[in-house]
Amino acid sequence: MDQLTASATPPRVRNLAILEDEITELAAHLNAATYRLLTLIREFDERHGWSGAGMKSCAHWLNWKCGIALGAAREKVRVAHALDGLPQISSALRGGKISFSKVRAMTRVATPQNEDYLLMIANHGTAAHVERLVRNYRRVKRSEALKRDQQHHALRELNWYIDSDGSYVLKARMSPEQGARFAQALDAATGAIHEEQRNVAEDVSAETSNYNETPIAARRADALERIADSYLSKEENAVTGGDRCTLHLHTDINTL
């Protein structure tokens, strides 16, 4: 009889408000614990703690030791390092105020300059809102970068004129990529010439041996000539010795 009475008694229904509070409170604790996990992952990766196990990366170690899918593990490592430079987002996750899903999305585009704006969206919207904002933000940034690249390409130029003393004066404007390659080539040629001058025999003239005293601007001019010589020395671009420097003399038959 007692068993029948017990089985007939309906289970106690928990108050929905209390249940809601428990869920959100536990979610906040999980968010805070996630922040702690990410800080540990960042330190572990920076110290290459995973390398002793013969792993390829920290993500592979997380996949092996913690059972985290490799893609998700890579994201955790990425977010862990990104948070190091985002104090406001870090504080919000540490306090359990935002979820890892929102943080993961924000860290794709977040900087110290825009993290407060992203946090405002995260605090008042869903994870889907944040994802959509980040997608649109990246689309706009890609469009801006494309326009910037097109502008750089359109404005590139190289001009020169011959000064009154016969010297060539050059002025150039290059895209960032062109400029970086040019500077790299110029530095390499400058270094090569410097190395050659340093290794010259002791009986060379003081003018040649004191190359270190030559102004850097003059060394770059020498390097640019070396780059030109390198191009012209190729068989398909080669010029004869006479063509390299031709002197034209104008006179009359009586002088001859």
pLDDT at 33 over 60: yes
The CA dihedral of 92, 112, 119, 74, to the nearest 10 degrees, is -70
3-state secondary structure of 22: helix
Dist. CA 19–CA 228, nearest whole Å: 77
C-alpha–C-alpha distance, residues 209 and 194, integer Å: 10
Residues 141, 33 share a domain: yes
CA angle 210, 211, 217 (to 5 degrees): 140
Q: How far is CA 163 from the centre of its chain?
A: 42
Residues 123 and 192 in one domain: no
On whether both 123 and 225 belong to a single domain, the answer is no
Q: Does residue 145 sit in the same domain as residue 35?
A: yes
Does 122 reside within a domain? yes
Q: List pLDDT tens digits, range 115-161.
A: 999 999 999 999 999 999 999 988 888 888 888 888 888 889 999 99
Domain coverage including residue 172: 157-237
161: three-class secondary structure by DSSP? strand
Round to whole Å and give the CA distance between 120 and 110: 13
Phi and psi angles of residue 252, each rounded to the nearest 5 degrees, phi first: -125, 170
Q: Are residues 78 and 190 in the same domain?
A: no
CA distances 197 to 183, 205, 214, Å, are: 21, 11, 11
**Claim to verify: residue 35 and residue 112 sit in the same structural domain:** yes
Residues 73 and 163 in one domain: no
Instruction: Report yes or no on 1 lying in a domain.
Output: no
Residue 10 within a domain: no
One domain for residues 98 and 172:
no
Single residue among 150, 167, 199 that ends a domain in this structure: 150
In a domain, 252, yes or no: no
Which segment of 31-40, 71-80, 89-98, 206-215 scores lowest on mean pLDDT? 206-215
Q: What is the mean pLDDT of the chain?
A: 85
Domains contained in the chain, number: 2
- Using CA atoms, how far apart are residues 219 and 179, in angstroms rounded to an integer? 18
Q: Are residues 135 and 206 in the same domain?
A: no
Higher pLDDT, 90 or 234: 90
Alpha-carbon distance 243 to 44, whole Å?
Answer: 64
Most confident of 11-20, 62-71, 133-142, 183-192: 62-71
Looking at the structure, tell me whether residues 52 and 116 fall in a common domain.
yes
For residues 209 and 136, membership in a common domain is answered with: no
Residue indicated by tokens 């102004």 = 215
3-state SS class at 207: helix
Whether 127 maps to a domain, the answer reads yes
Same domain, 108 and 194: no
Domain final residue pick, 98, 117, 150: 150
CA 117 to CA 105: how far, in whole Å? 14
Q: Identify whether 110 is part of a domain.
A: yes
Residue with tokens 């290059």: 174
Place of tokens 């540990």: 40
Q: Is 13 within a domain?
A: no
Mean pLDDT (whole number) for 213-233? 87
**Residue 183: pLDDT band by 50, 70, 90 thresholds?**
very high
DSSP 212: G
229 part of a folded domain: yes
Boundary residue ending a domain (150, 178, 194) = 150
